[in-house]
Amino acid sequence: MTEFPQNAILVVVEARASGELEQAAAGLFGAAAGAGTPVALVLAAPGAGKAAAAEAASLGAVRVLIAETPDPAVLGVPGVDALASAAEQVQPDAILLSHSLDGRDLAGRYAARTRTAVCVDAVGVSRDEEGVVANHSVYGGAYNVTSTATFGPPVITIRQGAVEARAEAQPETSETLSVTPSGKPAARIDSFDEETAVATRPELRGAAKVVAGGRGLASKEQFALVEQLADTLGAAVGASRAAVDAGYIPHAHQVGQTGVSVSSQLYIALGISGAIQHRAGMQTAKTIVAVNKDADAPIFEIADFGVVGDVFKVVPQLISALEARKK
């Protein structure tokens, strides 16, 4: 076995049940390539490792370690065991994971087990004279913060969709990682419904354009207007928490402090008041447009183009104006 690169950044990526890598993988390798040499640890179901390794190489991994979970129904622990073995072999300068639910669990358990420092929810990584540092955007984007570990490789989780950089594809060099199971108690996955619906719209995370609707849409049926405008613009669909709570759309579409943070080129807020917790998730968008009946709605304080008006009048007119230009 050849040596691992001196400045290795260990990127941990999970393959979905279908075999493809998680969505955040490209951004993780992009971030790693900017701070060192990306080496991948691929966590996959039995038989899926080889295909996942090829994808990891195409996204920038110079070396790939494959860990196929012996029992995919065991939640979390096999991944931590694999990460512990991989980190010991690679001796990386930093470990990068997605700030997804599974990524956070893996990072947290590994850090606690090995007494390694964690830097969470980073929007980027870089290197100074002493090592790898993480950049964060905190309190709803009001502050920029830099953090690192006092010593040793920091474990860094990266906010999904935050890194635009991509790494160059590499020829595949992969090997199977041997893992000693820790036998730690774990939860079990009793059943799983994979989201198979073919996405016709862009994903909210990392989308270039987002059209979001709030309580002002007033019903699930009328929320379709948000989807119509999104389709006209080729945009992803977002929502306020009030719209999610009212059942107009599933939680995965919630933008804000306790939902997704977006930094799109365009963000259109329809019937959204612009509560501070909502703004926390979208105020770093390049251009913000708002349509709201209430001239005093806080969303207007940050809108580049604000329309005081009824969404049910303004938006249909906007859609037909845009459709007319397309012809």
Residues that bind ligand FAD (CB under 6 A): 214-216, 240-243, 254-259, 271-273, 275, 277-278, 281, 291-294, 297, 310-312
Beta-sheet pairing, 37-44 with 155-158: unpaired
Tell me the HSE value of 164 on the side-chain side, using a 13 A CA sphere: 6
Whole-number minimum distance, CB 146 to another protein, in Å? Answer: 4
Binding partner selected for residue 63 from another protein, ligand FAD, none, CB under the kind-specific 5 to 8 Å limit: none
Residue placing its CB nearer to ligand FAD in the complex, 140 or 153: 140
Binding partner selected for residue 224 from another protein, ligand FAD, none, CB under the kind-specific 5 to 8 Å limit: none
Whole-number minimum distance, CB 269 to ligand FAD, in Å? Answer: 8
Tell me the β-bridge partners of 113: none
Residue placing its CB nearer to ligand FAD in the complex, 173 or 320: 320
Backbone angles phi, psi at 301, to 5 degrees: -65, -20
Residue 23 neighbours by CB under 8 Å, 6+ apart = 160, 203, 205
Cα gap 226→22, rounded to integer Å: 28
Whole-number minimum distance, CB 62 to another protein, in Å? Answer: 26
Whole-number minimum distance, CB 239 to ligand FAD, in Å? Answer: 7
Q: H/E element holding 231? A: helix 224-233
Residue placing its CB nearer to ligand FAD in the complex, 34 or 312: 312
Backbone angles phi, psi at 143, to 5 degrees: -135, 145
Whole-number minimum distance, CB 106 to ligand FAD, in Å? Answer: 24
Binding partner selected for residue 278 from ligand FAD, another protein, none, CB under the kind-specific 5 to 8 Å limit: ligand FAD
Token couple for 81: 């065991």
Binding partner selected for residue 109 from another protein, ligand FAD, none, CB under the kind-specific 5 to 8 Å limit: another protein
The rounded Cα 316 to chain-centroid distance in angstroms is 32
Binding partner selected for residue 197 from another protein, ligand FAD, none, CB under the kind-specific 5 to 8 Å limit: none
Question: If you search the block for the tokens 């420092």, which residue do you land on?
Answer: 117
Residue 72: is it exposed, middle or buried by C-beta count within 10 angstroms (0-12/13-18/19+)? Answer: middle
Task: From 160, 195, 173, select the one nearest 56 (Cα to Cα).
Answer: 173
Binding partner selected for residue 13 from another protein, ligand FAD, none, CB under the kind-specific 5 to 8 Å limit: none
Binding partner selected for residue 281 from ligand FAD, another protein, none, CB under the kind-specific 5 to 8 Å limit: ligand FAD
Whole-number minimum distance, CB 252 to another protein, in Å? Answer: 7
Cα gap 325→327, rounded to integer Å: 5
Residue placing its CB nearer to ligand FAD in the complex, 166 or 293: 293
Residue placing its CB nearer to ligand FAD in the complex, 64 or 260: 260
Task: From 9, 110, 130, select the one nearest 62 (Cα to Cα).
Answer: 9
Cα gap 212→269, rounded to integer Å: 5
Residue type, 237: V
Residue placing its CB nearer to another protein in the complex, 37 or 261: 261
Token couple for 247: 């059942």
* Residue 257 DSSP class: T
Residue placing its CB nearer to another protein in the complex, 39 or 290: 290
Whole-number minimum distance, CB 175 to another protein, in Å? Answer: 26
Binding partner selected for residue 240 from another protein, ligand FAD, none, CB under the kind-specific 5 to 8 Å limit: ligand FAD
Whole-number minimum distance, CB 84 to another protein, in Å? Answer: 11
Residue placing its CB nearer to ligand FAD in the complex, 135 or 257: 257
